Amino acid sequence: MGQYNLNRIFKSRHVAVVGASEKPGTIGNALMKNLIDGGFSGNLMPVNPKYKTLHGHECFNSISDLKTEVDLAVIAAPIASAADIVKECVEKKVGGAVIISAGGKEAGEQGLEIEAKIKKTAYEGGLRIIGPNCLGIIKPGLNLNASFASEMPDGGNLAFVSQSGAICTSILDMALKEHIGFSHFVSIGSMLDVDFGDMIDYLGNDPLAKSILLYIENLTNFRKFMSAARSVSRVKPIIVLKSGRSPAGAKAAASHTGAMAGEDAVYDAAFKRAGIVRVDTIEELFDCAELMAKQPRPKGPRLAVLTNGGGPGVMAADTLARYGHEPAPLDNETMEALDTFLPPFWSRANPIDILGDASAERFGRSLEVCFESKKIDGVLVILAPQALTAPAAVAETLASVMQKRQYPVFTCWMGGKSIGKAVDILNKAGIPTYETPERAVRAFLYMVEYARNLETLLEIPPKMTGNMEFNHKKAHDLIAQAGSQEFMPESESKEMLLAYGLPVIRTEIADSEARASDIGREIGYPLAMKIHSPDITHKTDAGGVCLDLRCDEDVRKAYNQIISSAHAYKPDARVNGVTIQPYFSNPDFEILMGAKRDVNFGPVILFGMGGIYTEILKDRSLGLPPMNRLLARRLMQQTKAYTLLQGYRNRQAADMEQLEEMIIRLSQLLIDFPEIEELDMNPVLIKDGNPVAVDARILVSPIDTPSSLHLVIGPYPEDEESHMVCADGHHIFIRPVKPEDALLFKELFKILSPTTIYYRFFGVLKELQPEMLARFTQIDYDREIALVAIDEDSESDRMLGVARIIGDPDGKTGEFAVLVGDEWQGRGIGSNLLEKCLSIAEKRGFETVSGIVLKENRNMLAMGKKLGFEIKLDIESGDNLLVRCF
């Protein structure tokens, strides 16, 4: 149900507690006390037929007996009665329910049946459910503590959502100690209805939540989660602790790719693609929570370490080095400024060791100098207890100097009892404190990772130099004739790859010694020969590979040797002869490209070091289709192999654009054919810069999900392409926007008149900033519709106009916008684009599309009237609101 009624839960004014109690030690009592003691000022209604009044409030027999509307029902009754209570909530038109009760699906078959009944009743009645088996929700800004957590945290800008109640209470205790404030604190429980995707969407649109912290044990609607995260991570950091780093997902792998694409590695790839920062431990989750809640985000990794002890400073520098960074170099101006007041023996480098006798004043002045530098992105202040240093005085000085901060400042106060007062001062001043330099540096680097994620999300992918064509029919026929749950024969696997334009070495099949001899003479020497058997996965292990065959005698001898070895290795294997192909002597590089169908995330692409050392070196990275050149390049950059591919000693660099194109073509193959369970191209040999797949295996298995719906990220919707002819005979190609269209947008913007810019953007705009270009072109096809008009009669690509409908997270409403270049206005391009957008919106189940149009924009008002929009007055802006209902 998306965002429907979530506002009524998190902005509740009328709250009912079902199962309320005055009995000490009960959840019903804890809920009532927390709501009252937390200062909830709305209407609180306990529900329990055993009482007339509870905690000074009138008590009701049931939800049905309540005299007013109800925004939120908190259900603490046994799970067996929850279905009937939910039915009453639906009849009473309650906005949402938090089901605290345990005993659902985690308790077995009976619990599953109860949850199914609750879900059916709630869904049909439009009631939102958080839980069951959860701690509850807390909204400090509303003084709403609808949970059985012991205390209300401070208000703040951090939103926290967790599946685990134990993690919730741990975070809460830490937050109270460190004075961390929250905008939302949500125990999401079993996610019968409201899940992580819903919460990310909701929090992404709530200005009170500046950062989002998640503790995840499992996901439900993976595509919704990815869609929400990819959208929100552009504007707010999302930090995730995902438990369960298990190798179980790789257990049944039948190929190199399957063995290397374990379940947890796929989560890593998905989080990375969504712009999410993943932490590894609860400790790091705590540390990130504190830094995010209290400090601005860094613009880069340049960290200054200010310390009164050399050892702790070295520890901080070592931690930076462990993650590929170094302390920020100090520029001449900073050095000279520090020289004016620091003792002669200060370190004169970063870490800035201001010596063990450092006073509070010396700490403060050093920090002020750091603030003046434009070469620093953050400062870590480390204090080790010394006889001549007063920790509390230093803390007070830092709190004062911090008013001038330009970037994040955080501290490591080392010690125990002697620093307690100082740490309290820092916490109250909003300065994060860490017990060790390593924890402090790691928390900072997680924030750097988010900043880098944001930067890459805004990067414009380059276009391919030529058009890519695919023989879909040929590939479809090969899939259709493949056996279920079997590897396709190598020859057919290579035909499949060739159909999608992937470079494959010539391969012939020989089923006899004589035929092998004939093929050898035809292809020419040297040759490579391999066993041709659907039952032998790793050919080398079976003695099924002979290389560098230089004459007919070598070929004949190799044939007999391979067949004999295969039978000895696996007597019951089906042996169909051998494959023969040209032999690449001394290739420059060997890489692996492959894919695996993950049960949750759909197809996953793998790139890494190839050849016989693939599984030993495990140098690989994973990515999710669809891919473009930028994503393909990033996939390669995550491996050590990428450095080698740039050229090494006398080895020529690989043609990186060809490799990018291979990844994109592989991505399209996986998009078009959900039946591909695993695919291996290993090795892909690179010689003189050019890649070619030498060996290929494709495992096919049935799948119920049709093409595109099997993906966790919506692909380019090719079926929404169309053509139009203007009244003057001009040919226009209408298609969905692509990430590579950013340059076309810039060119279109250059020819717009000031009036057209004002009508579209409601103000003066001199140029399109990178953030806007990314926003316009790198869209989520699941939640946004954007069509562009391309001039087909021009020798080069030229964009003439664009129309879009930006869908709200609920999938029911959207906002439209249209822009057409001045010289092309009045030719029907804008109305054609918008009409097609509206048609797509209607097919997707949108109920309403609207948009603000300035009073002066008469052409747009006329177009809206022609397309069936109702024109209303927008009270807030005083302009026209165009509304189209389906």
836 lies in the same domain as 861: yes
Kindly indicate the confidence band of residue 110, based on its pLDDT and cuts at 50, 70 and 90: confident
Least confident of 259-273, 474-488, 575-589: 259-273
User: For position 250, what pLDDT does the model report?
Assistant: 39
User: Residue 822 carries which DSSP code?
Assistant: G
pLDDT reported for residue 428:
85
SS (H, E, C) 361-382: HHHHHHHHHHHHCCCCCEEEEE
Enumerate the β-bridge partners of residue 413. Answer: 383
- Please count the helices (runs of H) and the strands (runs of E) in the chain: 29, 38
* Residue 856 within a domain: yes
| CATH at residue 751 | 3.40.630.30
Which pLDDT value is given to residue 159? 95
Which tens digit of pLDDT belongs to each residue from 671-716?
999 999 999 998 999 999 999 999 899 999 989 888 889 999 999 9
Last residue of a domain, one of 457, 491, 526: 457
Both 37 and 99 in a single domain? yes
Does residue 564 surpass a pLDDT of 70? yes
Tell me the CATH number at 19: 3.40.50.720
The residue type of 672 is D
The total of other beta-carbon atoms located within 10 Å of residue 318's CB is: 12
Taking residues 354-373, report their average pLDDT: 92
Q: What is the pLDDT of residue 756?
A: 95
> Residue 818: in which H helix or E strand, if any?
strand 813-820
What pLDDT digit, counting tens, does each position of 746-756 carry?
Answer: 999 999 999 99
- Asked if residue 603 and residue 698 are part of one domain, the reply reads yes
pLDDT over 60 at 391, yes or no: yes
Both tokens of 797, joined, read 């690509």
pLDDT in tens, 298-335: 888 999 999 998 899 999 999 999 999 999 999 999 99
Q: Are residues 372 and 410 in the same domain?
A: yes
558 belongs to a structural domain = no
Please say if the pLDDT value at position 180 is more than 90: no
The distance from CA 270 to its chain's CA centroid, rounded to whole angstroms, is: 5
CA 750, 755, 757, 763 dihedral sign is positive
528-538 pLDDT tens trace = 999 998 888 78
Tokens 């750097």, located at residue: 448
Write down the pLDDT at residue 264.
Answer: 86
Q: 470 near 500, Cβ under 8 Å?
A: yes
Q: Could you tell me if 790 and 654 lie in one domain? A: no
Predicted structure pTM score: 0.88
- In this predicted structure, the answer to whether residue 482 has a pLDDT above a threshold of 70 is yes
Q: What is the mean pLDDT of the chain?
A: 90
- Asked if residue 521 belongs to a domain, the reply is no
**Are 202 and 72 found together in one domain?**
no
Number of domains in the chain: 5
The structure tokens listed for 695 are: 């060996």
Please give the pLDDT value at position 67.
86
Same domain? 226 vs 322: no
pLDDT beyond 50 at 433: yes
pLDDT in tens, 247-294: 544 344 444 444 455 688 899 999 999 999 999 988 898 888 888 888
Contacts 24+ apart (CB under 8 A), 837-845: 837/785, 837/786, 837/787, 837/803, 837/804, 837/805, 838/805, 838/867, 838/884, 840/720, 840/785, 840/805, 841/785, 841/805, 841/807, 841/814, 841/886, 842/886, 844/785, 844/807, 844/811, 845/811, 845/812
Which of 271, 294, 317 is the C-terminal boundary of a domain? Answer: 294
In this structure, the answer to whether residues 119 and 166 fall within a common structural domain is: no
Tell me which of 710, 730, 761 is where a domain ends. Answer: 710
> Does residue 420 contact residue 177 with C-beta atoms inside 8 Å?
no
Residue 626 Cα distances to 272, 273, 321, 706, 712, angstroms: 14, 11, 34, 16, 9
Confidence of residue 459 (pLDDT cuts 50, 70, 90): confident
Beta strand ranges found along 611-689 (DSSP E): 620-623, 676-687
Q: How many Cα neighbours within 13 Å face the side chain of 166?
A: 2
- Res 255: pLDDT: 47
Per-residue pLDDT tens digits for 123-143: 999 999 999 999 999 999 999
Interaxial angle between packed helices 472-481 and 490-499, expressed in degrees from 0 to 180 and rounded to the nearest 10:
160
Q: What percent of the chain has pLDDT over 90?
A: 68
Residues 810 and 3: beta-carbon distance below 8 Å: yes
Q: What is the pLDDT of residues 26-53, one digit of tens each?
A: 999 999 999 999 999 999 999 999 999 9
For residue 399, give Cα distances in angstroms to 394, 403, 430, 441.
9, 7, 8, 20
In angstroms, the Cα distances linking 395 to 76, 343, 422, 428 are 45, 21, 5, 11
- Choice among 15-19, 461-465, 557-561, 650-654 with the minimum mean pLDDT: 461-465
Query: pLDDT tens across 589-614, in order?
Result: 999 999 999 999 999 999 999 876 67
Whether 530 is covered by a domain: the verdict is no
The answer to whether residue 555 sits within a structural domain is no
768-799 confidence digits (pLDDT tens): 888 889 889 999 999 899 999 999 999 888 99
Instruction: Read off the pLDDT of each residue in 439-444 and give the average, rounded to a whole number.
Output: 94
Residue 302's domain comprises 296-457
Residue 151 confidence class, pLDDT cut points 50, 70, 90: confident
The answer to whether position 452 is within a domain reads yes
Query: Which has more confidence, 185 or 417?
Result: 185
Peptide bond into 526 cis (omega under 30): yes
Q: How many angstroms separate the Cα of 407 from the Cα of each of 31, 257, 325, 811?
A: 41, 43, 18, 38
575 domain residue, yes or no: no
pLDDT at 72: 97
Are 656 and 740 found together in one domain?
A: no
User: Are residues 31 and 165 located together in one domain of the fold?
Assistant: no
In this structure, is residue 560 part of a structural domain? no
Structure tokens at 436: 């060790």
How confident is the model at residue 4, as a pLDDT? 82
Q: What is the CATH number of the domain that holds 608?
A: 3.30.470.20
Q: Do 485 and 389 reside in the same domain of the chain?
A: no
Residues 324, 226 share a domain = no
The enclosing domain of 413 has a CATH number of 3.40.50.261
- The distance from CA 97 to its chain's CA centroid, rounded to whole angstroms, is 29
